[in-house]
Structure 1
Amino acid sequence: MVERYNPNISSNDLTATPDSKSGELLAWIRSLQQALTVEVDHGFTDIQGRKNKFSSFVSDYLLKCPSLDIPEYELCKLKELAFEFKIYSSMSTDRRRRIIVQTRQSLHDLHKYKEGAETTKLLNLKIKKSQDLNFNKKSSSSDILSLESQISAIKGVGPKQAEKLSGIGLFFIRDLINYFPRDYVDYTSLKTIDKTQSGQNVTIVAKIRRCSSFKSPKNPNLSILELFIKDKTGGMKITRFFAGRRSSSIAYVKSQQSLYPVGATIAVSGLVKESRYGKSINDPLIEIIDTPNSYLKSRTIGQIFPVYSLTDGITADKFRDLIQSILYLTSDIKDSIPIDILNRLDLPSKKDAFFQIHNPQNSKTLAKARRRIVFEEFLLLQLSLLLRRELHKKCNSPQLSIEQNSNGLVEKFLSILPFSLTSAQKRVLKEIELDIVKSEPMSRLLQGDVGSGKTVIAISALLTAVQSGWQGAFMAPTEVLARQHYQTLNKWIPQLELNVDLLTGSTPKSRRKQILADLSNGATKILVGTHALFEDPVVFERLGLVVVDEQHRFGVKQRNKLLNKGLQPHLLTMTATPIPRTLALTLHGDLDVSQLDELPPGRTPISTQLISPKDKQYAYDLIRGEINKGHQIYVVLPLIEESEKLELSAAVDVYHQLSTEIFSEFTVELLHGKMKSHEKQEVIKNFLNKKSDILVSTTVIEVGVDVPNASVMLIENSDRFGLAQLHQLRGRVGRGASKSYCLLSHQNKNKLSRQRLEVLVNSNDGFEISEIDLRFRGPGQVLGTKQSGLPDFALASLAEDTDVLELARNEARNLLDSDPQLKNNSMLRMLIKAKWDKLKIGNKLN
């Protein structure tokens, strides 16, 4: 039995003293893992030990890593985590959970690194890197070439090649240096033959035992050279293929065979394959090693070499040669980040990072180079967002008043609700009230799962604007959702004697004219609408607050058009799509964030189950039973982006099967995106009024339909949805007191696909689900739209570089604290100005 971590012992008591350095590292990892487990078991309470609290122990212990043979980038991660644990006690529970997850991942990475480290001391392979080849010597044309030179000025680049390179956006040498590899092939893993595994890129040093060549019996222009190599641990077949007319010559093939005499020592780099005949490498890189002390001539054997995204007519080898020929110019790159920050964070200079990203010396220097470039990308973004936020705060906005008495509109509204606010709703409402009484405009993002009560918060905020003498706008991405909000408002607002209107694309002209008139003269206090609110004829008399629902579905420019209709109104954006912290920092780094992390009482947890084709009858029996109990059912189909016709056809087919064959005794209706607005409303109205039992729908019901009587959601082809989207769909049931079910039907036999869906089965935490979805599918897919306003990064990954993003955010804050206008950091200021539009931030503040 493994001894568990005891919270009553101090960090001094836990000094590991095993016999070997490897054992010392494993003991250190084990101690930390046990401490983390105890903290998780105690609910992230920062448990008190005999001498220290958990956070203090971990912060100190992370800095005591036995650092022998540990990569520098891993040590950097540990230092950053140690800093995070210093402020652990002031963190929210969610953030504490995230830090512990990150720490566990780092410990896992360290363990894997230690396990996978192969000793290479016995393998004698001398590699001469570019740095050893007088690489930093400037060429004879160095007085001509510079970073701003055109690519056509490079020796050997003709007009045709320059034209092809321009097709992928490469015009100047600076463009070439900024064109980072999309991947790397790593041949630095020196292995003995017995240690190689199928699927690995490896380098082997061995002796040739046999060599033969022959022509392909099927292709006269293909010849094959086979080597059998052997080291002290085993043997392996090496095969090279020679294609073309020249290879049909026996003399040529024999000349190739003569290059590899039996008994010679060779270095081989390639991808290991395994079959019933044993291990082999096809078409590897091969070089004869003349003497034990001679350097390899190859620039790729035993090394990491870059792989670039190219276009027709440009070969990989030629492009690599082109990059290598101008890499000396990286010495002209100036650093934009202060040297003290680079030293403190153990980051290389920009010129070294750019050199190593194209010509990595080893995996450590590559990781550090990438981290340096990613850090700068994130730093520029975070500085831009924080500067935008400060600029925004300087604008004048309506200063709303909060009436804390029973006659106030907000108090009246809350008093007529048939339920009490949750503590989370009260907290968020207080945060909003503190914002809107200021003279600076509010910019707040409200996140919360489906059913957490965001609409009540939005209405309360709008009523605050109205009681202060201003108007409010409530904007939704779809007509279905806009109408739902309008109906919700109409349920309560008439009792408050306020005029509320709905403006959408399908509003009749005569009605539109009246709405616009009432809006401009101030008779309409709250206007609910879709993109129609952006149109120029829409003029508010005094717009004080804008509420934007599912805001990531609108472009920044669209939101700005509405905000320009008033004196910098307050902005409250809402989303039921749980946004991972990395995305929130990237998209909304200039917003304050409120989180509704509590569902109203009385909700029964939803039972989520995976349904394979053989389980379909179980699903149908469950649905029949629920309908007989008086409940209603959703059947949801995925959107088919490639073909709207195919999507409609699939929906009609399922509807026909359910209504005529499987559930002919029940009323089944169909809802899809191609229906006219009034047709959609009719179907939704029938479902709300219990006139239909089953609603077959595409994901138009993802937001906007609230039917407490619905108890089952069957999602067909659920593997085609994102996890965050499935979680939102699931939130459409379980809104009443009855037990509800979400059935995830799938036909995909892929193991990874099933594992992804099992996340939904095991978790109801929207933020945890969205974090996992981010890793699986990437940020654009998590947000469900390509027009999500995400900046384009050259190297940074929001899924993989979360620690660097947090680091950049902290450093951006520190920089602006000491230099608010970046007057002492002119290069950073210049880069931000150049990238302001590229980062899709725009000139407006909201």
Structure 2
Amino acid sequence: MASLSDSVGSLSGVGPKRVQALKDLAIENVNDLLTYFPFRYEDLQAKDPAELTDQAKVALKGTVAAEPVLTRFGRKKNRLNFRLLLDDHTIIPVTFFNQPWLRDQIEAGKSLVVYGRFDAKRQSMAGMKLLTSANGAMGSIYPANKEIRQATIKKLVTQAYEAYESVIVDLIPEAIRAQYRLLHRKQMIHDMHFPADATAAQAARRTAKFEEFFLFELRLQIVKRQDHTLRGQALPYDLAELKRFIASLPYELTAAQKKVVNEICYDLKRPLHMNRLLQGDVGSGKTVVAAIGMYAAITAGTQAVLMAPTEILAEQHANNLAKLFADFPVNVALLTGATKPAARKVLLPQIANGEVNLVVGTHALIQPEVHYHHLGLAVIDEQHRFGVNQRQALRQKGAQPDILAMTATPIPRTLAITAYGEMDVSVINELPAGRQPIRTVWIRSNQEASMLREVKAELAAGSQAYVVTPLIEESEAVDMKNAEAIYQRFQAQFEPQYRVGLLHGRMKNDEKNAIMDAFKANEFQVLVATTVIEVGVDVPNATLMMIYDADHFGLAQLHQLRGRVGRGKKASTCILIADPKNQLAIERMTTMTSTTDGFVLSQKDLELRGPGDVLGRKQSGVPEFKVGDPVADLNILSVAQQAAKSVVDQDDWANQDANLPVAAYLTTTAHQTTTMD
């Protein structure tokens, strides 16, 4: 019996060589071929020359006025000329280059439809192809490669549709299809490949986008449901002790923090695996929330770990947590690649026997020789900087420990729905009381003198300043400010009254740590740095940041950098110095000065630059879709997510009549599920 899962090799004219060529286009079965949709269409409906614009690609219908003339010139070059008499008696000269075989199809008195580029000034056409009909047809244009031409793809799609249309069934349940006025799947596939007009093509594409997002979100919802039923550890934490710790904090938790703490604690008590993403803007107090969760796990007799992407951030977390837990039975240890062998030799047995119950570190936490006594909760900071394999390795260090992933890079709704759709999401959407909003200004490089006056005023008031550059040293390849040159210039400007420090990624870790410690202690008043300070650096006395060549950074990165100031009680300023060369860069600068809302900025960054550039292609998390664009089609994606959730939330959903086709489809295409990082 015919099935859409049949190999494309079952089609006429598809041998082993063509099977491989199709596989290179991700086409292995008939369903793949039928959903290999055109990326655009040519309007092949015959037009009146009076309606046409110069150089437009159009179809003209008429009668061949005289026999064609073939002229050869040069090696393998030729020109085929003939005149086309249109219905309104206008004569249009037509020229085909290097298609001599068309002469046999062009005869005086024969009716033809010619597709080509129209020259309005000369009232002539450069022919591209002859058409058999012009009954309002739309010509489908497919992504092709050198092994398979457009015409071959079109021929195979036509053959597959005619042979398999009787077995095409709706995957979207009827109630959802009717609610959102979607086409039947058979109609959608037909009109995607062979639309009668632009309206039909548009309606088909809308349904195709919904179906693609719906199937993707169904898989995510199934994973999420399975994860919720996965046996984990119930952590019966000591509520009285936890309240004592919260009461010891030097500040009142915000309403958003309290809400998130309750969500985490609820998950910890359940005997199911927690897989929660905690997102909050820079300075919103995620680390304190994580500390409460970790202490809850510790009061339940288990261990907790916090994994950070850099040694500077790991050391800072370890120091801050040691202060927070100074009066509580928590033994905090730091484990990174820089941990000396002698210290490591002492520390590893203490982790293995449970003497150390809170371990902070980097990738070193998941090395094979690190064994935990009883790991209950793993917190991953700036989680988008870790790959899926590293997160999985951390989970395998215990009996399915609960996972709390944190990010200060606010995740736009697009990413939350796709990359993190299988996780429960908690959001801290307010800043702690007393935090001053950060003023952001954009100046051009010729206004730098006024900026330096502001720097001196801040330093005179006892504050400190960051100066950020995109490069470490001078480069012949790009004309951008570099840290070493700016460092020397600022030394000449400010010393000996104020000390200037330099920090960049090529320094050894001990050197970087020493410089950061000196800056925190106000031994340096100005710190010139690269983006090594982007994450986690916390100096409340720093109230001013200057970012040179700011137009070379993305919005998310600029927002992270800006978050290094405004961490104390004083008002802070971020100065963007940029001479943008294009409208995109200008828009980034004006967006930065108009809002400090990280969620607004992250969505805008996604729209302006695309997901691969925001977080890096491999870690962007946004899967590749055939027809849908998760940024431009966010509304369709959101509706599809809700529709998928409504299906999976039903009891025994896969065995209900309305869901049988899609359940069977997901089973047969399980190997195609997108792997997300």
- The two structures have a TM-score, normalised by structure 1, of 0.69
Task: Give 3-state SS (helix, strand or coil) of 2:575's partner.
Answer: strand
**Contact kept in structure 2, 1:686 and 1:692, CA below 8 Å:** yes
**Contact kept in structure 2, 1:269 and 1:302, CA below 8 Å:** no
Matched, 1:485 2:341: no
Q: Take 2:353 and 2:124, find their aligned partners in 1: how far apart are those partners?
A: 79
Residue of structure 2 equivalent to 1:828: 662
Q: Take 2:3 and 2:421, find their aligned partners in 1: how far apart are those partners?
A: 40
Residue of structure 2 equivalent to 1:656: 484
Q: Take 1:819 and 1:411, find their aligned partners in 2: how far apart are those partners?
A: 38
Matches within 5 A, 1:288-303: 297-298=132-133, 303=137
Task: Give 3-state SS (helix, strand or coil) of 2:649's partner.
Answer: helix
Greater CA deviation, 761-770 or 791-800? 791-800
Amino acid in structure 1 at the alignment position of 2:229:
K
Residue of structure 2 equivalent to 1:419: 251
1:714-736 Cα distance to aligned partner (Å, 9 max, x none): 33333333222222222122223
Which one of 370, 376, 391 corresponds to residue 205 of structure 2? 370
**Contact kept in structure 2, 1:475 and 1:547, CA below 8 Å:** yes
Matched, 1:148 2:6: yes
Task: Give 3-state SS (helix, strand or coil) of 1:664's partner.
Answer: helix
Q: Take 2:314 and 2:230, find their aligned partners in 1: how far apart are those partners?
A: 29
User: Alignment identity in percent?
Assistant: 35
Amino acid in structure 1 at the alignment position of 2:217:
Q
Residue of structure 2 equivalent to 1:310: 144
Structure 2: tracts of 5 or more residues without a match: none
Amino acid in structure 2 at the alignment position of 1:185:
Y
Task: Give 3-state SS (helix, strand or coil) of 2:655's partner.
Answer: coil
Task: Give 3-state SS (helix, strand or coil) of 1:494's partner.
Answer: coil
Q: Take 2:2 and 2:329, find their aligned partners in 1: how far apart are those partners?
A: 77
Residue of structure 2 equivalent to 1:176: 33
Q: Take 1:443 and 1:145, find their aligned partners in 2: how far apart are those partners?
A: 38
Residue of structure 1 equivalent to 2:97: 242
Residue of structure 2 equivalent to 1:118: none
Q: 1:628 to 1:305 in 2, by over 3 A?
A: farther
Amino acid in structure 2 at the alignment position of 1:179:
Y
- Displacement of 1:163 in angstroms is 5.0
Task: Give 3-state SS (helix, strand or coil) of 1:496's partner.
Answer: coil
Give aligned pairs, total.
Answer: 669
- Displacement of 1:222 in angstroms is 6.6
**Contact kept in structure 2, 1:669 and 1:695, CA below 8 Å:** yes
Residue of structure 1 equivalent to 2:431: 599
**Contact kept in structure 2, 1:760 and 1:769, CA below 8 Å:** yes
Greater CA deviation, 626-635 or 422-431? 626-635
- Displacement of 1:454 in angstroms is 0.5
Matched, 1:612 2:444: yes
Residue of structure 1 equivalent to 2:162: 328
- Displacement of 1:472 in angstroms is 0.9
Residue of structure 2 equivalent to 1:743: 575
1:571-600 Cα distance to aligned partner (Å, 9 max, x none): 222111111223112222233222111112
Residue of structure 1 equivalent to 2:528: 696
Residue of structure 2 equivalent to 1:390: 225
Q: Take 1:517 and 1:527, find their aligned partners in 2: how far apart are those partners?
A: 13
Which one of 383, 387, 400 corresponds to residue 551 of structure 1? 383
- Displacement of 1:553 in angstroms is 2.3
Residue of structure 1 equivalent to 2:408: 576
Amino acid in structure 1 at the alignment position of 2:97:
F
Matches within 5 A, 1:173-252: 173-181=30-38, 183-187=39-43, 221=77, 240=95, 242-243=97-98
Task: Give 3-state SS (helix, strand or coil) of 1:495's partner.
Answer: coil
Matched, 1:466 2:301: no
Matched, 1:675 2:530: no
- Displacement of 1:665 in angstroms is 3.5
Q: 1:800 to 1:226 in 2, by over 3 A?
A: farther
Q: Take 1:664 and 1:279, find their aligned partners in 2: how far apart are those partners?
A: 68
Residue of structure 1 equivalent to 2:261: 429
Q: 1:833 to 1:170 in 2, by over 3 A?
A: closer
Amino acid in structure 2 at the alignment position of 1:148:
D
1:536-585 Cα distance to aligned partner (Å, 9 max, x none): 32222222212111222223332222122223322222111111223112
Residue of structure 1 equivalent to 2:626: 794
Q: Take 2:596 and 2:644, find their aligned partners in 1: how far apart are those partners?
A: 34
Matches within 5 A, 1:90-169: 148-151=6-9, 154-155=12-13, 161=18, 163-169=20-26
Q: Take 1:603 and 1:811, find their aligned partners in 2: how far apart are those partners?
A: 40
1:48-93 Cα distance to aligned partner (Å, 9 max, x none): xxxxxxxxxxxxxxxxxxxxxxxxxxxxxxxxxxxxxxxxxxxxxx
Residue of structure 2 equivalent to 1:346: 181
Q: 1:231 to 1:655 in 2, by over 3 A?
A: farther
**Contact kept in structure 1, 2:436 and 2:570, CA below 8 Å:** yes
Amino acid in structure 1 at the alignment position of 2:12:
I
Larger RCO: Structure 1 or Structure 2 (Cα < 8 Å, ≥ 6 residues apart)? 2
Residue of structure 2 equivalent to 1:62: none
1:774-808 Cα distance to aligned partner (Å, 9 max, x none): 22222333334523444343322211222222222
**Contact kept in structure 1, 2:94 and 2:124, CA below 8 Å:** yes
Q: 1:833 to 1:646 in 2, by over 3 A?
A: farther
Q: 1:473 to 1:430 in 2, by over 3 A?
A: same
Q: Take 1:734 and 1:226, find their aligned partners in 2: how far apart are those partners?
A: 74
- Displacement of 1:226 in angstroms is 10
Amino acid in structure 2 at the alignment position of 1:828:
V
- Displacement of 1:461 in angstroms is 1.0
| Cα root mean square deviation, aligned | 4.2
- Displacement of 1:372 in angstroms is 3.0
- Displacement of 1:518 in angstroms is 1.0
